[in-house]
Amino acid sequence: MHNYAIAEIAGRQFRIEEGTKVTVPRLRAEEGETVKLDKLLLINQEGKVTVGVPYVDGANASAKVVEHSRTRKVWVLKKKRRKGYRRNASARQLQTVLSIEKVNG
């Protein structure tokens, strides 16, 4: 039985477990810095599930910032047939890789 939690990070929900890495939208933290995650929606500890309304009281998790990076390039193509109209654009989202150290429930 795995112990895990569902955390809200930057407005999105992620399943986190101790000792794993998770990729989240860019956070304002330096590499190597420890971040406290206190918006835990659900905690499962050895089969005992605690659901928050909306967050679990007193529960938190700590994570270390491993690196800041960017996602794969996404191409956006616009074209109108028979008009000679073509436009290309690309974008890369900023992301942060977190290493989950401890989940306190």
Q: What per-residue confidence (pLDDT) applies to 47?
A: 87
Each of the 105 residues of the chain gets a pLDDT tens digit; together they read 578 999 999 999 999 999 999 999 999 999 999 999 999 999 999 889 999 999 999 999 999 999 999 999 999 999 999 999 999 999 999 999 999 999 987
Report the pLDDT value the prediction gives residue 2, as an integer from 0 to 100.
75
Q: Sign of dihedral through CA atoms 35, 41, 44, 45?
A: positive
Q: How many helices (H) and strands (E) does the chain have?
A: 0, 10
Q: What is the pLDDT of residue 104?
A: 87
Q: What are the phi and psi torsion angles at 19 (to 5°)?
A: 85, 5
Stated pTM of the model: 0.83
